Amino acid sequence: MSNHSSNTMRVGMIFISIIFFIFGFVTTFIITLSDPVMEAFDLSYTQGFLVNSAFFISYAVFSIPAGGVVKRIGYKNSIVVGLLLISFAGFLFFPAIRTESYPFFLGAIVILSLGVVLLQTAANPFVTELGPPETASGRLNLTQALNAIATWIAPLMIVALILPAALPAINDSINGVLTEGIPDRIRPSDLLLPFMLIAVFVLLIAIAVRLIKLPVLSQEGAGNYATVFKYRHLLLGAFAIFCYVGAEVGIGTAISSYVVKEGIGGGISRDLAIKFVGLYWAGAMIGRLFGAISLSDIKKKELKFTFAGIVLVWAFIVGFVTLEYSVAMALTFLGFAILNFALMQLGRGKANLVLSVFAIAAASLAVISMLSTGRVALWSIVSIGLFNSIMFPNIFSLAVKGLDRSEVSLASGVINTLIFGGAIIPFIMGILGDAFGIQYSFIIPVACYLYILFYALAGSKLKPVGETPASGPQP
């Protein structure tokens, strides 16, 4: 890394952080879009859920080829191509929506997801290579924190740009007034503006990335998929990503239905339940900011605790704004945030130890929620978001540790393929929820967190499946 100036490295981190924000925003935007799309196109639940299926199928199909693309054309060019694919897909929504063709709409989502997969395949290893290996988890946590901010903002964009289109007629109907020419439901055309804004913004970022000077990271070497698949810790790490994404998405999907039930969440309103879902995802943002601080190369403890104090203030503000300006609930969220930071210190700045502590915490909170009722059940399940926070960056950095540079982009493709767990685990939880009750479906995330604990303590140790690959370093 001595070949790159500090300014070039700084510019690289700034732009790669924007990339993380973009694919985090786009992913959450599409996931949250299912309900408006069902209403706009007058679809059944099965048809509406195809929005998420069309998006996530690309991870299963395209991630490994994407790793080959990154190795062939480089990190920067891959990022530019990924951005152009997202922008192109954004513009494709114009004819899809104007013709009110749902198959065309789904096709545009598939192209959009191809761009997201290519971005993610290039961006994660790029961050790990932008500095010393021992601080790679800190850099990934920082960029993933920006990704988490995007997941918090994306639903707000839907509320701001899509839902208001139907509000005038709804308000008039409440007042007993019949308004002609104003829709009382979301129309396909109401979906257009956000996609146009995404297309234009992403296109501008693609042009900027193409023109600026980014660090050129070598991928020369004999690395190929034959050598990559010989790394035991990589393959076990890929399955850990499957478990993490599945558990995170599964819990996030179940919360709003779970906490409104009498005897579980205290029978809170549907509106407040949805806000608790927002807080669950906001917890990932707070935890990743803590992770960026704790796993960084900042030497002075006083400076680390100062930054942590700023994040705690932010955690209170997030809780206060999200949960209907309730000081009591904001303080409760702040208490869990303090616990999150305190437990992170037990890891002593080591990615695998922090991961193990958080896996134990997440599994314990899920079990507590299953065995309790009322606000205990509510807060224990929602606070898991804080402990999910560092799992993806820490698992990823552990999984690619010790690999040759020529193998990292290929390994990223293998790991990203298993993000498909976000489609599988929630489906299994749904089956258990129908059969035994939603409260007991959380046994699946518990099992996932226990596997992540195994990976942190044992599976992440550098050990080849067969003989040590000639192109990689000796473990």
- The CATH number of the domain holding residue 94 is 1.20.1250.20
Note whether 197 and 240 are same-domain residues.
no
| Cβ–Cβ < 8 Å for 282, 151 | no
169 found inside a domain: no
Please report the pLDDT score of residue 218 as a whole number: 60
On the question of pLDDT at 355 being above 90, the answer is yes
On the question of pLDDT at 17 being above 60, the answer is yes
Please report the pLDDT score of residue 125 as a whole number: 79
434 found inside a domain: yes
Contacts with 351 (C-beta within 8 Å, 6 or more apart), sequence order: 137, 295, 394, 397, 398
CA distances 328 to 287, 316, 321, 372, 377, Å, are 21, 10, 12, 21, 17
Backbone torsion region of residue 403, taken as left when φ is above 0, otherwise alpha when ψ lies between -120 and 50, otherwise beta? beta
CA distances 41 to 3, 98, 138, 150, Å, are 54, 12, 43, 26
Q: E strands, 7-116, where?
A: none
Please report the pLDDT score of residue 202 as a whole number: 95
Number of domains in the chain: 2
Q: Across residues 285-290, what is the average pLDDT?
A: 90
Of 26-30, 402-406, 468-472, least confident by mean pLDDT is 468-472
Give the residue from 212, 244, 276 where a domain finishes.
Answer: 212
User: How far, in Å, CA of 89 to CA of 219, rounded?
Assistant: 29
473 found inside a domain: no
Q: E strands, 136-255, where?
A: none
On the question of pLDDT at 76 being above 60, the answer is yes
Contacts with 135 (C-beta within 8 Å, 6 or more apart), sequence order: 295, 296, 297
Q: Across residues 198-215, what is the average pLDDT?
A: 89
Note whether 320 and 435 are same-domain residues.
yes
Q: How confident is the model at residue 178 (pLDDT cuts 50, 70, 90)?
A: very low
User: How far, in Å, CA of 217 to CA of 275, rounded?
Assistant: 42
Alpha helices in 260-298 (DSSP H): 270-294
Q: Which two tokens stand for residue 71?
A: 């190795």
Note whether 196 and 274 are same-domain residues.
no
Note whether 208 and 234 are same-domain residues.
no
What residue type is 88 in one-letter code? F
Range of the domain at 396: 226-464
174 found inside a domain: no
- Residues 378-391 have pLDDT tens digits of 999 999 999 999 99
Element (H, E) at 247: helix 232-259
Contacts with 398 (C-beta within 8 Å, 6 or more apart), sequence order: 233, 237, 351, 352, 355, 455, 456, 460
- Residues 39-49 have pLDDT tens digits of 788 887 567 66
Angle, alpha carbons 229-124-244 (nearest 5°) = 75
Q: Across residues 304-324, what is the average pLDDT?
A: 92
On the question of pLDDT at 240 being above 50, the answer is yes
273 found inside a domain: yes
Q: Across residues 54-61, what is the average pLDDT?
A: 84
- Residues 121-138 have pLDDT tens digits of 888 878 877 777 767 777
User: How far, in Å, CA of 395 to CA of 413, rounded?
Assistant: 14
Chain mean position to CA 93: 24
471 found inside a domain: no
State pTM to two decimals.
Answer: 0.77
Note whether 206 and 234 are same-domain residues.
no
Note whether 94 and 26 are same-domain residues.
yes
| 231 backbone dihedrals φ, ψ, rounded to 5° | -85, 110
User: How far, in Å, CA of 432 to CA of 46, rounded?
Assistant: 19
Please report the pLDDT score of residue 87 as a whole number: 96
Chain mean position to CA 307: 23
DSSP conformation letters of 333-353: HHHHHHHHHHHHHTTTT-HHH
Of 144-158, 174-188, 306-320, least confident by mean pLDDT is 174-188
Note whether 271 and 333 are same-domain residues.
yes
Give the residue from 181, 212, 243 where a domain finishes.
Answer: 212
Higher-confidence position of 131 and 324: 324
User: How far, in Å, CA of 28 to CA of 322, rounded?
Assistant: 17
Please report the pLDDT score of residue 169 as a whole number: 43
| Three-state secondary structure call for residue 231 | strand
On the question of pLDDT at 201 being above 90, the answer is yes
Note whether 142 and 256 are same-domain residues.
no
Give the best-scoring range by mean pLDDT among 50-64, 218-232, 267-281: 50-64
218 found inside a domain: no
- Residues 255-279 have pLDDT tens digits of 877 877 766 656 677 667 778 888 8
Note whether 200 and 314 are same-domain residues.
no
